[in-house]
Amino acid sequence: MPGQSDEWVRLSMRTPGILIFGMVMAPCGWILNLTATVAPSWRTLNSLPNIPIDQFLQQGIWDICLASTIKPGGTCGQSDTTYFNNQIIKVAQGLMVASLCVTILGLCVAIPGVRCWKRTPNWTLAGLGGLLIFISGVLTIIPIAWYTHILSAITTISSRNDVRVGYCIVLGYIGGICEVLGGFVMCIGFCRCCGGRNRGERRVEEVTVTRFTQKHYPRPEPVPRVARPTSSTSSSVPYSREDLDDDVSFPRAKSPPARLVHTNRPYDADL
């Protein structure tokens, strides 16, 4: 609106929601991406020749394991030069490691800007950290999507082989999306939009007008007390004995007569 000043004020010390969302999604995505990077299950090969039917091959970007459906564990360290010489494997190794490093760098940059013990967050640092987290998510999604697209064409596989997507692909997709969303939401703090709601701020003049236009309800007037008649005898209590006797609606019990106390002490008349 024309004529409004550019002075803004925060109404609370709470960390803005966009920063909380980004700082929660980024570590979650990093853990998922780390699992997808080191685990050897980007794809599984079943029905392999000269191998028992209960065994299958798990292929990752760093290692290959021979596992079984009836026995826990597996034998890793399987060699496959043709598989590791594919271009996608080299690209995936570099991009996944780069994504993990960029995520850590983004968190280190964003943490000083998101400090909740300061009155106003450092939006420049927080937004820069969110941008790095967003880039790390993109670096994760690129090799994951590429590997999924050429899943059956990475090596020469017989048509009888059953090629399936491994759990690392699923974890990589989820981790990359978490980082992309978290970084994008944090980058919204670069600019002030939606009337400052994205930063939890309001204009100074709006806050001043709101305080002066609040409804002030009148204070209740005290009800006057009715003076009750008092006895002529002054007393420290605001009521008399006659008032208590008149207010009683039931008969009172008669007080017992005073008892005569006999003592064994002789008097002068008895001597």
Between CA 49 and CA 57 the distance in angstroms is 11
Asked if 170 contacts 28 with a C-beta cutoff of 8 angstroms, the reply is no
What per-residue confidence (pLDDT) applies to 79?
Answer: 80
Please, is 148 exposed, middle or buried when counting C-beta atoms within 10 Å of its C-beta (0-12, 13-18, 19+)?
middle
For residue 39, give the nearest of 57, 59, 55 by alpha carbon: 59
Q: Is 45 helix (H, G, I), strand (E, B) or coil?
A: strand
Right CATH for 10-39+87-154+167-210 from 1.10.472, 2.60.40, 1.20.140, 1.10.3470: 1.20.140
Please say whether the beta carbons of 96 and 34 come within 8 A: no
**Contact criterion met (CB below 8 Å) for 63 and 40:** yes
Whole-angstrom distance, CA of residue 37 vs CA of residue 42: 9
| pLDDT reported for residue 120 | 75
Total-model pTM: 0.66
* Of 176, 109, 97, 86, nearest in space to 138 by CA: 176
In tens digits, the chain (271 residues) has pLDDT values of: 444 545 655 555 567 778 888 899 999 999 999 999 998 889 888 877 777 777 888 888 898 888 887 777 777 878 878 888 888 899 999 999 999 999 999 999 988 888 756 667 787 888 899 999 999 999 999 999 999 988 888 775 555 667 888 889 999 999 999 999 999 988 887 666 554 555 655 555 555 555 545 555 566 666 666 666 555 555 555 555 555 555 555 566 666 666 655 556 665 555 5
At 197 the pLDDT is 57
Locate the domains of the chain by residue range. 10-39+87-154+167-210
